[in-house]
């Protein structure tokens, strides 16, 4: 029995020593793999799957921009106790194929759980609406949206009823759409006028001669080529001088003034001697413009050549000072006029650029008779 105990003890010691050696070897191998225990995950064994990794703080993707919806105008088209409609101003499509307006429904109260609505359109006289889309379409911004885009593609001679219905309670409001043929664009007929492409200003400028009267037809139209014959246009116009010129003032001393081109023939000069502003009439600078019978009439009286005027008169003395044309301030940018015509009911307008040049106003001979 004692001999067997001794053998058992020796076996136990050998097993312990072997285990210790294995542990020591394992620690050495681990130390080598982890760079002295400084990197416990050198081969990515413990990495989380890609879908489990969190996005670093500050790198969150930017949220999508909300889609802006057209805002309605204030005018209410039709309403009821629980729902009201408003229509935006007309917008002509870029391709010129239709005119679009935005119809907006307001459901009350705004705190209702279900605010969705549905849109329908039909001929007001109850006739078959299968051809209605040839003239007008309605498109909600999204399913149940309170915003609807109304597009007109052609002129129509009877009214169309657009109805909006709430999904909760079936309350309705209606909008009657009529074709009235209002104009949406203007054209001034300049086909008979000579023009240049002014490189200094980068503008197309029409040249009008002194001593002539130009009558340019004004026409109104829309994308349907059908303006209501009963529409009576009301026009206004504005003439703006563009560019500057120099004047030489001759008195006790000679002084050069730079003045902006004026379409009215009047400039204002501040006289330091009297301490007041004095109005000067520029004789050769008046641009005559008028509108009648759907025509823009232009009557250029003269070009800037010589300007004469009295400066001022006071109680002590009367001084006369002569202004003479010296030169244009920038010969690469010769002055010109902008004539803007506006139809006041619709707000549509058209602008043309003109420059006055000298025209022939007579002829004479060196002698009235001759003999040989």
Q: Is the dihedral of CA 324, 328, 334, 335 positive or negative?
A: negative
- Look up the CATH number of domain 185-357: 2.60.40.1080
Q: Which pLDDT tens digit goes with each residue over 75-115?
A: 345 566 678 878 776 776 666 688 888 999 999 999 999 99
Q: Domain 76-177 is in which class?
A: mainly beta
Which residue in 284, 288, 258, 280 sits closest to 354, CA to CA? 288
CB 195 within 8 A of CB 205: yes
Q: Do domains 76-177 and 185-357 have the same CATH topology?
A: yes
The pLDDT score that the predictor gives to residue 278 is 53
CB 127 within 8 A of CB 82: no
355 DSSP assignment: E
Average pLDDT over residues 105-126: 94
Which residue in 175, 152, 179 sits closest to 85, CA to CA? 175
Q: Residue 299 above 50 pLDDT? A: yes
The pLDDT score that the predictor gives to residue 134 is 93
* Choice between 56 and 249, residue whose per-residue pLDDT is larger: 249
The pLDDT score that the predictor gives to residue 343 is 93
The pLDDT score that the predictor gives to residue 317 is 44
Which residue in 254, 247, 232 sits closest to 329, CA to CA? 247
The overall pTM is greater than 0.85: no
Which residue in 292, 291, 308, 290 sits closest to 300, CA to CA? 290
Q: Residue 248 above 90 pLDDT? A: no
The pLDDT score that the predictor gives to residue 210 is 84
Percent of the chain residues topping a pLDDT of 90: 35
Core vs surface per residue 299-335: b (16+ CB within 10 A) or e: bbebbbeebebebbeeeeeeeebebebeebbeeebbb
For the chain, give every domain's residue range.
76-177, 185-357
Structure confidence at residue 324 as a pLDDT band (50, 70, 90): low
């Amino acid at each position: 029995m004692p001999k067997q105990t001794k053998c058992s003890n020796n076996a136990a010691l050998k097993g312990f020593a072997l285990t210790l050696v294995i542990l020591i070897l394992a620690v050495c191998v681990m130390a080598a793999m982890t760079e002295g225990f400084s990197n416990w995950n050198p081969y990515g064994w413990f990495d989380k799957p890609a879908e489990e990794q969190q996005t670093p703080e500050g790198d969150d993707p930017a949220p999508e921009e909300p889609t802006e919806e057209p805002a309605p105008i204030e005018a209410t088209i039709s309403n009821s106790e629980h729902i009201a409609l408003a229509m935006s101003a007309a917008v002509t499509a870029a391709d010129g194929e239709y005119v679009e307006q935005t119809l907006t429904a307001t459901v009350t109260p705004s705190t209702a759980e279900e605010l969705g609505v549905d849109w329908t359109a039909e001929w007001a006289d109850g006739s078959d609406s299968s051809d209605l889309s040839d003239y007008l379409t309605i498109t909600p911004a999204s399913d149940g949206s309170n915003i609807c885009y109304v597009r007109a593609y052609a002129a129509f001679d009877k009214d169309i009823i657009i109805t909006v219905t709430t999904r909760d309670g079936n309350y309705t409001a209606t909008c009657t759409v009529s074709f009235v043929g209002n104009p949406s664009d203007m054209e001034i007929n300049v086909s008979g006028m000579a023009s240049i492409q002014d490189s200094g200003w980068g503008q197309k400028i029409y040249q009008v001669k002194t001593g002539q009267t130009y009558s340019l037809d004004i026409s109104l139209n829309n994308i349907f080529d059908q303006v209501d014959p009963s529409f009576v246009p009301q026009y206004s116009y504005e003439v703006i001088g563009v560019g500057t010129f120099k004047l030489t003032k001759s008195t006790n001393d000679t002084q050069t003034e730079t003045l902006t081109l004026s379409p009215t023939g009047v400039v204002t000069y501040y006289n330091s001697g009297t301490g007041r502003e004095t109005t000067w009439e520029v004789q050769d600078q008046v641009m005559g413009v008028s509108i009648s019978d759907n025509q823009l009439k232009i009557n250029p009286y003269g070009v800037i050549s010589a300007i004469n005027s009295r400066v001022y008169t006071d109680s002590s003395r009367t001084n006369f000072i002569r202004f003479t044309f010296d030169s244009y301030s920038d010969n690469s940018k010769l002055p010109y006029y902008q004539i803007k015509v506006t139809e006041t009911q619709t707000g549509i307008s058209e602008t043309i650029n003109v420059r006055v040049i000298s025209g022939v106003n007579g002829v004479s001979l060196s002698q009235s008779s001759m003999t040989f």
